[in-house]
Amino acid sequence: MDVRAVTPQEMIEELKRTIEQRQRDKYCFQVGLDDVEFAFDKKAASALDLDPEMSRIEQAECYLREGVLRPIEFAESDGTRHQVLEWDSTPVAYSGFTGCVTHSIAVTDQGTFEVGRYPAMNLATFSKVWQWFIHRKIEGTECD
């Protein structure tokens, strides 16, 4: 076993490297979003003719595809916030049971991500919710 003295500066640098690696690694798995803030174009929404039988989530997906609804900020459960710079609602993949999870690309101030969303059930209220998550980091990832 090799034992040597470590300076406080070396300890600080090692701690910084560990924290940076942890931040890179966290996007190798799905990261839930606690909140998604949207911009809503009322004028464009009023121009759309929606089927009244659509669920609220189906309406929201339609608004997203048509550019009426646009995500502007993502908030992760650990407090990390993403300012959405570019959003492309075009699905890049579908997954989950009967393709219920839709994946799209978002460029944020934290990088480029594949972002997923799906209709889910809130077990506390038994109401349907629109659940969002970051599936993976595309740009600058270390875990491919």
> For residue 142, what pLDDT is reported?
52
The domain spans of the chain are: 8-137
Q: What is the pLDDT of residues 43-71, one digit of tens each?
A: 999 899 888 888 888 899 999 999 999 99
Q: Write the CB contacts of 37 (distance below 8 Å, at least 6 apart in sequence).
A: 71, 72, 73, 74, 75
Q: Could you tell me the maximum CA-CA distance found in the chain, to the nearest angstrom?
A: 73
DSSP 97: G
CA 138, CA 100: separation in Å to the nearest integer? 22
> For residue 141, what pLDDT is reported?
47
Q: Which residues in the chain land under pLDDT 50?
A: 141, 144
pTM: 0.74
From residue 27, give the alpha-carbon distance in Å to each of 24, 100, 122, 135.
Answer: 6, 22, 25, 7
